[in-house]
Amino acid sequence: MILLGVILFPFLSAIVSFFLHSEKGSKAWALLSVFIEGFLVFFSAYLYSQAGYLSVEIPWIQTLGIHLHFGVRGFELWMMILSAVVPAMAVVSSSSKRANPGSYYGLLLGMQGALMGLFACANLFLFYIFWELSILPSFFLLMGWGGLRKEKTAVTYVVYSLAGSFALLAGLLYVFMSGGQVSVYGQMGVFILFFIAVAIKIPLWPFHSWQPDTYEQTDHATTMMVAGVLSKMGLLGILKVMLLFAPLGAVFSSDKVIGLAIVSILYGSSLALVQGHFKRVIAYSSLAHMGLMAASLFSGTSEGIQGSIFQMGSHALNVVGLIWIGHIIYERTGTLKLAELGGIRSRSPFLSAVFLVVILGSIGFPLTNGFVGETLMLFGLYSVHPLFAILAGLSLVLGAWYMMRLFQAVMLGKGNSNLPEFNLTWSERIGLGVIMVSIVGMGIFPQPFLDFVTPSSFKESDSSCTQ
């Protein structure tokens, strides 16, 4: 039953939030809500560690045989913890004045509920509903609080997302039509349809062109959600749906998918080198990181999958940290264009130190969270074909390059002489401190987290991938 609470609570508090008007009141409500939700999620993690499996099933539409069926295994719980932590960071980091704060936080909480439902659901029907449901809040957040080019960006975003979910629906219908027993050729077709859906969501090259604009145009809290959790929906879709319903498709096409993912690694890393906007660098670096995670999921080895799941968490943490730092800079200086920034280290050594740690985590420096995941993933890819690992390993080199370039442009140099004071608030200090400590902590003691993401339940997708 606690699972039902975890999923319904954000929706209920979102409804309350829509009726709040004051800036302070709505933020206080949102904070309370994300912390209660965090408590619920961690409590269910505790219950999970006692029982080994959590599930709840109640009838919803009996005429169609549709049940509200939720059940979580280790990696799904890992994603739920992620979608409890990232919205909390998003709410804590929001300090600037917004129009209609109540609706804003309401949509944010609604998105959290949709993600919780997606990660916890145990049947295809609910998977589709929550998949579609997660599109709406992000669309409204982009439309209502986005930047200057929000209209065009929102249309692109929605057209891509809906094309993806229609591909998903087509695949689900095909599975439904064949009564769960999909023929070999059918599995190829279903695999392609599902692949389109997840490749748009992750995103992978060549389905990525919605992503940089969306990152740039959204408000920072929305960017955190999109980059931190929404992108992981696609990877979860691979684990939860693709490998289960089209295992033969995965066997036949895993090389091609890994190839596409490696193209997005190289493409994203190269383009991140030449971007002139803070958030666009993050967008292209995410493209590269997500490509690596997708590639190693399709390696079909337990190291690759384990590393990929671990990396989903660390990537979320790192990217949230980067976006938060970007938001702090934007609030003080009013710009995120790299040409107009510089010399911030002299104003705020603390921010500079945190930025460096987050960057190290993001490029996979030893003793940070990125190192653990990336090493495991490259092991996995190496066992499929050494060439894959070599090409994917280039992402580490290029990553170090573009991240250091970012650090140099933002923090070092002379910069603007009339740079304002960088007085960080306490919530910013604590939040960034927590991110910094967890990046290092996960790098030094990865074992508890790795245990968490390799329960026995995981073997079914593992074996179906390599059979």
Partner 1 sequence: MYSIIILTVLGIIGMLGDMLPLKRLFLPVTLLGFALAWLGYFFEFPMHTSLFSFDLISMCFGGVMLVITGISVITVYGYGSFKHGSEPPYTVLALMIFATAGGLLMVAWSHLMMLFLAIEILSIPLYVLVGSQGDRKASQEASLKYFLLGAVASCIFLFGMALYYAGTGSFLLGAVHPHSLVGSAGVLLMIAGVCFKAGVVPFHSWVPDVYEGAPTVITGWMAALVKVAAFGALTKMVGSLSYSVWGLEVMGMAVLTMTLGNVLAVQQGSLKRLLAYSGIAHAGYMLLVFLPVTETSITTVFFYGASYALGTLGVFTVIHILEQSGLSATVDALRGLFKRNKTVTLLWCLSVLSLAGIPPLPGFFAKLLVLMHVVKAHHSGLLWVTFLNFLVGVYYYFRLILYPFTGGLSEESVVLSVWQKVGVVILLILTWGAVLFPEFLLSVF
Q: In the window 5-44, what residues touch partner 1 (CB under 8 A)?
A: 18
Closer Cβ to partner 1, 46 or 60, answer by number: 60
CA atoms 36, 38, 43, 47: torsion sign: positive
CB of 65 to partner 1, least distance (A): 11
Closer Cβ to partner 1, 142 or 297, answer by number: 142
Show Cβ contacts of residue 190 under 8 Å, excluding neighbours closer than 6 positions: 171, 174, 175, 182, 245, 246, 249
CB of 178 to partner 1, least distance (A): 10
Which tokens is 193 given? 């349809």
Contact between 457 and 73 under an 8 Å Cβ cutoff? The reply is: yes
Identified binder of partner 1 from the candidate list 162, 244, 356, 434, rule CB under 8 A: 162
Q: Does 129 bind partner 1 (CB under 8 A)?
A: yes
Q: Within 10 A of 353 (CB to CB), how many other CB atoms are there? A: 14
Q: Does 107 bind partner 1 (CB under 8 A)?
A: no
CB of 26 to partner 1, least distance (A): 14
Show Cβ contacts of residue 245 under 8 Å, excluding neighbours closer than 6 positions: 124, 171, 175, 182, 187, 190, 194
Tokens 């104003």 — which residue?
347
Q: Does 173 bind partner 1 (CB under 8 A)?
A: yes
What's the gap between Cα 60 and its chain centre?
Answer: 30
Identified binder of partner 1 from the candidate list 2, 28, 143, 424, rule CB under 8 A: 143
Identified binder of partner 1 from the candidate list 132, 213, 374, 462, rule CB under 8 A: 132
Closer Cβ to partner 1, 59 or 433, answer by number: 59
CB of 236 to partner 1, least distance (A): 18
Site string for partner 1, 38-77 (x = CB under 8 A): ----------------------xxxxx-------------
Closer Cβ to partner 1, 139 or 401, answer by number: 139
Q: Within 10 A of 447 (CB to CB), how many other CB atoms are there? A: 9
Return d(Cα 112, Cα 11) in angstroms, integer: 8
Q: ω before 349 within 30° of 0 (cis)? A: no
Contact between 89 and 227 under an 8 Å Cβ cutoff? The reply is: no
Identified binder of partner 1 from the candidate list 144, 343, 413, 441, rule CB under 8 A: 144
CB of 256 to partner 1, least distance (A): 25
Contact between 313 and 78 under an 8 Å Cβ cutoff? The reply is: yes
Return d(Cα 120, Cα 384) in angstroms, integer: 31
Closer Cβ to partner 1, 63 or 456, answer by number: 63
Identified binder of partner 1 from the candidate list 51, 148, 177, 184, rule CB under 8 A: 177
Q: Within 10 A of 387 (CB to CB), how many other CB atoms are there? A: 11
Tell me the number of residues near partner 1 by CB under 8 A: 28
Closer Cβ to partner 1, 64 or 339, answer by number: 64
CB of 248 to partner 1, least distance (A): 21
Q: Does 184 bind partner 1 (CB under 8 A)?
A: no
Identified binder of partner 1 from the candidate list 42, 166, 350, 401, rule CB under 8 A: 166
Q: Give me the torsion for CA of 47, 115, 325, 18, rounded to 10°.
A: -110
Which tokens is 210 given? 């919605």
Q: Does 222 bind partner 1 (CB under 8 A)?
A: no
List interacting residues with partner 1 (CB under 8 A): 18, 60-64, 100, 103, 128-129, 132-133, 136, 139-140, 143-144, 151, 154-155, 158-159, 162, 166, 170, 173, 176-177
